[in-house]
Amino acid sequence: MEQKIKKIPWLDYAAITFGSVIMALGIGVFLVDAKVVPGGVSGMAMAIHYLSDNKIPVGMLIWALNVPLYIWGYKELGKRFGVRTFYGFTINAFFIDFFRGDIPGFGMFDLQNSATIKDLQQNDFFFLILIGAALLGLGLGIIFKFRGTTAGSDIVAAILQKKKGIKPGQAIMIIDFFVISLAGVIIGVKGLADVRPALSLTLYAFLLLIVSSRLIDMVIDGFDYARQVLVISEKHKEIADAIMENLSRGCTAFKTRGLYKHIDRDVILTVVTIRELGKLEEIIRNIDDDAFVIINNVHEVQGKGFRRRI
């Protein structure tokens, strides 16, 4: 009798919470007062926050902007944007205001005014933005990894894809460009750029977007930790035996035909860790120095001999 693997939804929600907390730190503590705006709803909320002379909390604005988008997305796309989405943007919005001391009774936190943040703002602004981008990307990556979202531009992009056929990546890029540019105009018109020109802050925002997007991909795909190796050689059997004996790695052979000489031969496929790659190359060279070797990055391997990735 087959045993079904039970899903653990609380683990997903714990991870979404953790990702939301990290993301909230990046936005609320490092980016809001630096006036470097991420794209999407978070960036729009920050722009409105600046227009209100910092009177309306950023987290509250993020939640208020996301609710109608969530309802719209639910009507247009059904359950695709369900409980996890609502939970994701709600918990993120809460913690942004929590860390900024804007939740009644928790004013003592006020982390954006800590000595460390103030020092970074004055003396190492680039590093401040880099940390904010890293926290934003890491947090979003964890949320996406566990099938959550923070609503916002994700919903707009999905609806535009359904109705207009616009690719989600293109839609999000256009939305982010518009939001960042609008925020830059607001900062310039309101005279909020105390130390750095509004255009400089806008350029920092585009850098933030690039860094955080790359980190999201790295968290979702995983860091490179293995290599897939294809070996084309006349001595394929000797190479396969050596790999299995010396590295204790499995090999797969599949039939191929070289079109230049019209010769049928086996190609060896194996997967090794990065640390084992050098030893594998040495094994191949010792057996057949003329072997044709193709090495590819592998982000995820599930099976015996490799750790399981979530």
Residues 183 and 280 in one domain: no
Contact indicator for 235, 210 with CB cutoff of 8 Å: no
Domain boundary among 221, 240, 256: 221
Binned at pLDDT 50, 70 and 90, residue 310 comes out as very low
Contact indicator for 56, 45 with CB cutoff of 8 Å: no
Helix (H, G, I), strand (E, B) or coil at 20: helix
Neighbour-count burial for 156-175, b at 16+ CB within 10 Å, e otherwise: bbbbbbeeeeeeeeebbbbb
- pLDDT tens profile 35-46: 999 989 999 999
Q: CB neighbours of 249 closer than 8 A, spacing ≥ 6?
A: 243, 270, 271, 272, 276, 305
Residue 247 CA to its chain's centroid (Å): 34
Residues 217 and 233 in one domain: no
Residues 209 and 241 in one domain: no
- pLDDT tens profile 239-257: 999 999 888 889 999 998 8
Domain of 293 in residue numbering reads as: 226-298
What gap in Å lies between CA 198 and CA 182, rounded to an integer?
Answer: 11
8 pLDDT exceeds 70? no
Residues 173 and 200 in one domain: yes
152 pLDDT exceeds 50? yes
Which pLDDT belongs to residue 233? Answer: 92
Residues 187 and 291 in one domain: no
Which pLDDT belongs to residue 260? Answer: 81
CATH value at residue 234: 3.30.70.120
Domain tally, the chain: 2
What gap in Å lies between CA 18 and CA 139, rounded to an integer?
Answer: 7
pTM tops 0.95 = no
Binned at pLDDT 50, 70 and 90, residue 307 comes out as low
Contact indicator for 175, 40 with CB cutoff of 8 Å: yes
Binned at pLDDT 50, 70 and 90, residue 94 comes out as very high
Does any domain span residue 2? Answer: no
Does any domain span residue 303? Answer: no
Residue of 169 and 1 predicted with greater confidence:
169
Binned at pLDDT 50, 70 and 90, residue 162 comes out as confident
Domain boundary among 221, 239, 261: 221
Binned at pLDDT 50, 70 and 90, residue 302 comes out as confident
Least confident of 12-16, 47-51, 127-131, 302-306: 302-306
Residue of 81 and 190 predicted with greater confidence:
190
Residues 190 and 231 in one domain: no
